Amino acid sequence: MATVSRRSFFQGATLAASAVRVMGANDRLGIAIVGLGGRGTAHVEFFSEFPECRIVALCDVNQAARERAQARLKALSPGAAAAEYNDMRDVFAKSEVDGVTLPLPNHWHALATVWACQAGKDVYVEKPACYNIYESRRMVEAARQYKRVVQVGLQSRSTAHKIHGMQMIREGALGKVYMAKGLCFKRRPSIGRTPAEATPPGVDWEKFLGPAPLRPFQKNRFTYNWHWFWDTGAGDITNQGAHEMDMVCWGMGDPGMPREAVSTGGKYVYDDDKETPNTQLSVFSYGDREIVFDVRGLMTGPEAGQPVRTGVEVMFGEKLAYRTVGAIFLGENGWMWMDNDSLVVYKGESNEKAHEEKSSQRAGHVGQMRNWLEVCRSRKIEDLHCEIAVGAKSAAVSHLAGISYRLGHKVRWDDAKGKFVDDPEADRLITREYRKPYVL
């Protein structure tokens, strides 16, 4: 397939943005899925269920991933077939594509979103919204400038018991909340070491790296393990932890950036290729209250009376073992535990259970995606459950922790100036050096 140059792509995108077709009430939205790993396969499965849309394009730099996704689509929707691409810019140039979903590696989220907005496409981007703080701003600006519907895949915002729990907090069920604590206790085995080697046939390694530095192909930097390298991810605080970080921010009223952040920990026990910490404790100060976030990828005990789940389950192609992930909200009159399955409220000095409810995690995934499709039609951005400005803020909070951890000291943030206080080292980590031509 011919490569689209940046000049020709952006010229075409400008035309496309001014000629987005208006959807009729009976039209089915044409959806492209860009990124076909484990989460991308889940997108194929979910969006195949929605009668209001049809999957018209599948894109991945890995030919094998494209073939697997195409086979899955045909199995789910007999007779269906989507065009296949290895360059997302070719997808964005297609008039039959109304919206794109981006279950991509973190380092691609912002640039892919901006390109799609410029091409006149609505966007469903997976968590975390952005790879760094600079990108969080650029994504919001692109959504506003090109008047696009951009939803972040933080499905807690569409999960019934979590919505109710947040309403209870707002209505004072706990009194004044002084601390919200996110837990990401997710057992992560060692990834070992893999040498540099020739790129496998069918993989466009250069496009996979995109904005990141060009490095030789290495198995541990590909597929799922890219999460554990600073070039492409930031560890579990922005992986699984992106959901719990968004929950604690939501419960605190989406307060934005804290005044101070400090993060400590390390990559303990294992001698492997991972760069990011497998144990990380972060504290974010908002003056009269704080957020605490705890990542443990090794063996651990329970927290707040919540059992550590044992055994292994498979979700969206990923094996999950020994995990306790959720959020604790501590208030003057009681406290609340919330996770994917339930919420429990305890009140008073006696720590009496005052409320308990359960709901379906899968319902949250479906609800978040359907909400995006509905707003793609209505154009009522205010109806989005997690619009980009919301999702980008909770991601930016996580990135403060990453910066503090990498520098080894507390950082102070000046939100009015959009930079750190007297800390040029930290300022340099607000953004990255983008590899041409993948420049945001």
For the chain, list the domains and their CATH numbers: 6-156+367-393 (3.40.50.720), 158-193+220-356+397-421 (3.30.360.10)
What's the pTM? 0.92
Q: What is the pLDDT of residue 312?
A: 53
Kindly report whether the peptide bond that precedes residue 258 is cis, defined as omega within 30 degrees of 0: no
Residue 121, token pair as written in the block: 């496409």
Tell me what the mean pLDDT of segment 58-77 comes to. Answer: 97
Tell me what the mean pLDDT of segment 216-229 comes to. Answer: 97
pLDDT band at 372 (very low <50, low <70, confident <90, very high): very high
pLDDT band at 16 (very low <50, low <70, confident <90, very high): very low
Q: What tens digit of pLDDT does each residue of 262-319 get?
A: 999 999 999 999 999 999 999 999 999 999 999 999 988 877 666 556 555 555 455 5
Q: Are 241 and 399 in contact (CB under 8 A)?
A: no
Which of 337, 345, 254 is CA-nearest to residue 303? 337
Q: What is the pLDDT of residue 24?
A: 46
Cβ contacts of residue 1 below 8 Å, gap of 6+?
A: 85, 86, 87, 90
DSSP state of 203: B
* 358, β-bridge pairs: 342
Cβ contacts of residue 2 below 8 Å, gap of 6+?
A: none
Q: What tens digit of pLDDT does each residue of 82-108 get?
A: 999 999 999 999 999 999 999 999 999
Q: Is 28 helix (H, G, I), strand (E, B) or coil?
A: coil
Q: Rounded distance, CA 91 to CA 34, Å?
A: 8
pLDDT > 80? residue 395 = yes
